[in-house]
Amino acid sequence: MLSKQTKLYYYDIYPKVLPIQKEVEITIKALSEHVNFDKSDEYIIKFVGVNDGIKSEGIQGITTISSDKKSLTTKVTLPIEQEYHVRLYKKEDKFPYEVLNVYALEKDLIEKRPLIGDFHVHSYMSDGREAPEYVCARYREEGFDFMAITDHFRYTPSVRAIDTYKDLDLSFKIYRGEEVHSPNNDVHIVNFGSDYSVNEICTVDNEHANWDKRIPTEHWLKEVKAIEDTLTDLPYNIDSFELASCILVCKKIREANGMAIFAHPHWRCSIRNISDAFSKKFLSEGYADAFELIGGQTNEENMTQIALYNELRANGVKIPIVGSSDSHGTVNPCGGSKPNMYEMFTEERTIVFAKENSHDDIISAVKNLESVAVQQYVGENYNIHGPYRLVQYALFLYENYFPMHFELCKYEGKLMRDFIADVDNAKEKLLACKRDVDKLYQKYFYNK
């Protein structure tokens, strides 16, 4: 759960996100009597762009105080895309007595909704600890807007999770998925959102597959061989069969209407599970739809993946990214030995800027480089990675929007857990609050 700054307990400001070059009325509401506005005072508001430099004078707005002294309104036209400090002064005061925040956006981004999601999650139907539907409820409790259960070898757990809540029409979305392990191949590819299982295409008796006994279908081997024959002049440490298998996995995922995510290439099993040469070629050639920039790994593993990403970008490679937890448990996943580590599944996440919380819009946004990866280890500050423009905006949202969003999600997620536990009236309560998060978004984001 993100902590709220003190000023967000005292004041509300809306809309928080507004278009550039358009006059918008902004309301500042006092949330308690001790911060009410005084009608005998004259108030001045200045909007100062955080990227305009310390000498900026800002833009002054004309203010009006409500008769109940609980709100102040002003109209302003903000010229360029950036975060603005909303500095609130009393007349004749040299320094503001409060500073709030808004963000002005260009048209393309203001039409997109910021959604928090996880593309790589496990349940006890592979090597996780909890039932798929329980995992989903816990994710909603921690502020997520969408997720996919992506169990090893298995697609059906994601379908089970969706079916559990299908009659509730929640704004929280659960998507189909699986982690694909094609036979004789150590590279993991996450399948997000496909219409059917790719594991079942490449492996015989998929439901009983395990790490050591994945039997490939004959047709799969023929297709891999056809691709392998086209791969020439590979470095010594790129296995042609493995590369061909991964190319085919990604192709099959796209054919199934899904998104192929290149997962945790720096995961260490004493040494990295795949070679650097493989990672660089796979990312540079764009074989996958997205790169799992950060995952449920050590800081060292995530850090070097980020460095690789930055180096390839500097060389002109465009790489869509996600941040995923690779979660295997949501309640004390370390099995009791580390009781303070229950937050582990929230350490990595993605913020996607999509038109809607839908399968097509999420995939389209990621592919169009409209996502950032967020990393926050327990007890530490968060870090956001991705394009500069989106990182700036995401930082604003993390401080000024998502804390309130998380409060609503926490309540809804608890009701989801009550629902699957057959607690009395849980369904009715859940139905009553299921659009509260959407209403919050409509309040804070100007879309007229």
| pLDDT, tens only, 186-240 | 999 999 999 999 999 998 876 655 655 678 899 999 999 999 999 999 988 999 9
- How would you write 24-63 as a 3-class SS string? EEEEEEECCHHHCCCCCCCEEEEEEECCCCCCCCCEEEEE
278-305 mean pLDDT: 94
pLDDT at 336 over 70: no
Alpha-carbon torsion angle 418, 422, 428, 431, nearest 10: 60
The per-residue pLDDT for 206 is 61
CA distances from 9 to 1, 46, 96, 208, 379 (A): 16, 21, 18, 53, 22
Tell me what percent of the residues of the chain surpass a pLDDT of 90. Answer: 77
Q: Which DSSP helix (H) or strand (E) runs through 87?
A: strand 82-90
pLDDT at 343 over 80: no
Question: Cα separation of 430 and 418, whole Å?
Answer: 9
In 78-131, which ranges are continuous DSSP H helix? 107-110
E strands, 134-282, are 146-149, 173-175, 177-180, 189-192, 203-204, 215-216, 259-262, 268-269, 271-272
95-100 mean pLDDT: 93
| pLDDT, tens only, 130-160 | 999 999 999 999 999 999 999 999 999 999 9
The per-residue pLDDT for 334 is 52
The per-residue pLDDT for 371 is 98
Question: Cα separation of 134 and 414, whole Å?
Answer: 10
Band (pLDDT 50/70/90 cuts) for residue 373 is very high
**Cβ-based neighbours of 211, under 8 Å, separated by 6 or more:** 181
The per-residue pLDDT for 134 is 98
pLDDT at 324 over 70: yes
Domains and CATH numbers, the chain: 6-110 (2.60.40.10), 113-409 (3.20.20.140)
- The whole-angstrom distance between residue 320's C-alpha and the CA centroid of its chain comes to 13
Question: Cα separation of 303 and 320, whole Å?
Answer: 17
pLDDT at 339 over 50: no
Question: Cα separation of 137 and 140, whole Å?
Answer: 5
pLDDT at 395 over 80: yes
Q: Which DSSP helix (H) or strand (E) runs through 371?
A: strand 371-375
SS3 299: helix
CA distances from 38 to 30, 47, 50, 67 (A): 11, 21, 29, 10
pTM for this prediction: 0.94
- Output the average pLDDT for the chain: 92
The per-residue pLDDT for 333 is 53
Question: Cα separation of 104 and 110, whole Å?
Answer: 8
| pLDDT, tens only, 67-81 | 888 999 999 999 999
pLDDT at 270 over 90: no
Is the CB of residue 345 less than 8 Å from the CB of residue 138? yes
